[in-house]
Chain A
Amino acid sequence: MKMVKLQKKNLNAFLAGLEKFGDLHGPVRRDTNDFAFQKVDAPEQIAHDCLRTILPPKKYFTKPVDTMFTFSEAEGYRAPDKDLHTKIILFGVHPCDIHGIKILDLVFGGQYRDEYYFARRRNAIVVGLDCMPDEYCFCRSTGTDFTEDGFDLFLSDIGSSYLVRVGTSLGDDIVLETSTLFQEIGDTDRRAYKRRSAQRINSFEVEIHLEDLPEIMDLEYESRIWQELGDKCLSCGTCSMVCPTCYCYDVVDQLNLDAKSGSRLRRWDSCLFKDYALVAGGHNFRADRGSRIKNRYFHKQRGFVAQFGRPSCVGCGRCIVSCPAAISLVDVLTKLRSRGNE
């Protein structure tokens, strides 16, 4: 993989020079501790100290509420065009979120390829940025703390510069376009990069073991933990909204005033919602809240492993920091594992 060096003082000049590749988006501060990816007019608006945005980058590829097509007697079905084809540069995506995108690529690229998703995905340049974990990050445990692909460029902090890994030919084009800002890396930079990596690895405060988790989950399928969680959970849907790998959506039609034309929308859904597993005839497969929260854990840590060979959780910690009921995935998994040993 090609590696070059970008001095930190040149970062904004670099980002400002990317105009011809698309609109620049990056994390912007919303509140003291809250950040959100959004379009910026100038690179200075980007908050470089952002560890975790409220919503993950998935919002760019599968939007919270998305128009699939419009329909009318006169024009038939029409796909939306404009917002599927806006070119964007997504700056400041951390490794866990890049893995989140890779997981969504797998899901939306399955048997029924989702062209809405991939139209937007193709139009996004991903510029990754490394980070230092806080007390909620556990991407080291989920194997998503480093990434070899899923980005066009990836910047790692090596002191006064970034070591830039070039992941795609498009990334290479970008570097060539702004080549005066880049330098070759030397031995000191290589050493600094390795030091930084080691320091990062040693900074994780949370560790969970996932290797045999599917078996443990099967053993604990009837555990009372699920009922206890069901009593606590508010079904508020927050954990699904903020999760980089929750992808469920609901499809609804909205009519225009003539009641003959309208649009078909899809909207983020959550398996925690009461009506998620409600079917025609009024039967609800998961009427009980405990069974719904169990489903969330089983899908991520058990079902997904069976289907794709890895859990769909990328250890970003979002569901933990944003659950109003203080339900922590790390605590739940630790409890499941230790049950019977206490």
Chain B
Amino acid sequence: MAKPIVGIFGLTGCAGDQLVILNCEDELLDLAGALDIRSFHMAMSDNDEDCDLDIALVEGSVVQPEEVEMLERIRSRARLLIAIGTCAVWGGVQAMKNEEQREKLKRQVYGPKGKDFGIIPSQPLSSFVRVDYAISGCPIEKDQFLQAALSLIHGDLPVLPDYAVCTECKMRENSCLLLERGELCLGPITVAGCNARCPAYGQPCIGCRGPVEEANVASEVNLLREKGFTLVDIQNRLRTFGGQSEVMQVAPTERGR
């Protein structure tokens, strides 16, 4: 079997997901041996900008018109396009304030220099192109990434969790922060895969992996309100990482109450 030809790309994000790939220290050589990596700007020179790709791994969200073009170009080269990281999958923290005027923000941040470039609200890859698989996480989990990569090398579809952080939290037998301490934990609506890292350290889940399939946000909001959190608190937490995902939008009429 020929090695899959791979390109690893970054749009707007912190490059944390590409770093996770580079941080697979013990596995990196094997991984590099099993893949034919042709493009990985963060890690190598002499990148091939034109070849067809079996797999394109794309990190980051789309915040500029130029990035839409870059992404479309990557898509046209790739058989499989895989979004890696919460920015690429859901828009990321930069989508938190998407309803604010871009021009105003640009003026505030860049002053007159802002005239030289355009910006658009931060959006996930799927707003522009077909995404074949989504590996979320802020950043992605190394083991999950490796397993997904290995499945693809083997010719299988990666298996990603369809269940919430709570499931792994209970498997680890953590004390429940939501029920025992009344903390604003998003575990019930956030997709698993991190082995409930934060609750295991006594910190509530802030939803960095994005919403689980069929997240019941309405019920989560109700139960948090019953615990005394305001809609503003809840909404701020929901939108920190899941800003662009429709499910995370609390009904607009309720906003700000």
Contact B166 A54 (CB under 8 A): no
Contact B180 A55 (CB under 8 A): no
Q: Does B127 contact A (CB under 8 A)?
A: no
Interface string of A237-273 (1 = CB under 8 A from B): 1100110000000001011111100000000101001
Q: Determine the distance from Cα of A30 to Cα of B181 in the docked complex, in whole angstroms.
A: 13
Interface string of A47-69 (1 = CB under 8 A from B): 00000011100010000110000
Instruction: Report chain B residues within 8 Å CB of A64.
Output: 171
Contact B27 A257 (CB under 8 A): yes
Q: Does B68 contact A (CB under 8 A)?
A: no
Instruction: Report chain A residues within 8 Å CB of B171.
Output: 55, 64-65, 241, 268
Contact A54 B223 (CB under 8 A): no
**Residue from B150, B164, B173 within 8 A of A236 (CB atoms):** B164
Instruction: Report chain A residues within 8 Å CB of B215.
Output: 234
Contact B163 A270 (CB under 8 A): yes
The interface-forming segment of B82-90, B102-110, B151-159, B246-254 is B151-159
Contact A234 B219 (CB under 8 A): yes
**Residue from B162, B167, B180, B187 within 8 A of A34 (CB atoms):** B180
Q: Does A324 contact B (CB under 8 A)?
A: yes
Contact A289 B214 (CB under 8 A): yes
Contact A324 B166 (CB under 8 A): yes
Instruction: Tell me how far the C-beta of A338 lies from the nearest C-beta in chain B, rounded to whole angstroms.
Output: 24
Instruction: Report chain A residues within 8 Å CB of B179.
Output: 321-322, 324
Instruction: Report chain A residues within 8 Å CB of B162.
Output: 273-275
Contact A254 B147 (CB under 8 A): yes
Instruction: Tell me how far the C-beta of A226 lies from the nearest C-beta in chain B, rounded to whole angstroms.
Output: 15
Q: Which residue, A33, A53, A241, A256, has most C-beta atoms of chain B within 10 A?
A: A241
- Nearest CB in chain A to that of B1: its residue: A259
Q: Does B220 contact A (CB under 8 A)?
A: yes
Instruction: Tell me how far the C-beta of B60 lies from the nearest C-beta in chain A, rounded to whole angstroms.
Output: 27
Contact A237 B164 (CB under 8 A): yes
Contact B214 A326 (CB under 8 A): no
Contact A258 B30 (CB under 8 A): yes
Q: Determine the distance from Cα of A59 to Cα of B151 in the docked complex, in whole angstroms.
A: 29
Q: Determine the distance from Cα of A324 to Cα of B212 in the docked complex, in whole angstroms.
A: 16
Q: Does A122 contact B (CB under 8 A)?
A: no
**Residue from A54, A234, A259 within 8 A of B220 (CB atoms):** A234
Contact B34 A233 (CB under 8 A): no
**Residue from B174, B176, B180, B216 within 8 A of A233 (CB atoms):** B216
Contact A255 B151 (CB under 8 A): yes
Contact A252 B159 (CB under 8 A): yes
Q: Determine the distance from Cα of A322 to Cα of B179 in the docked complex, in whole angstroms.
A: 7
Instruction: Report chain A residues within 8 Å CB of B154.
Output: 255, 259
Q: Determine the distance from Cα of A275 to Cα of B215 in the docked complex, in whole angstroms.
A: 13
Instruction: Report chain B residues within 8 Å CB of A326.
Output: 223
Contact B187 A259 (CB under 8 A): no
Q: Does A325 contact B (CB under 8 A)?
A: yes
Q: Determine the distance from Cα of A181 to Cα of B74 in the docked complex, in whole angstroms.
A: 76
- Nearest CB in chain A to that of B202: its residue: A31
Q: Does A232 contact B (CB under 8 A)?
A: yes
Instruction: Report chain B residues within 8 Å CB of A111.
Output: none
Instruction: Report chain B residues within 8 Å CB of A36.
Output: 173
Contact B159 A234 (CB under 8 A): no
User: What are 24 A-B contacts with C-beta separation under 8 Å?
Assistant: A30-B173, A30-B174, A54-B173, A234-B166, A235-B164, A235-B212, A236-B167, A236-B188, A237-B163, A237-B167, A241-B170, A257-B27, A257-B30, A257-B146, A259-B153, A270-B167, A273-B162, A273-B163, A274-B162, A275-B213, A289-B214, A324-B187, A324-B223, A325-B219
Q: A34-B176, A234-B216, A235-B216 are in contact. List 4 more A-B contacts (CB 8 A).
A: A53-B173, A55-B170, A275-B162, A289-B216
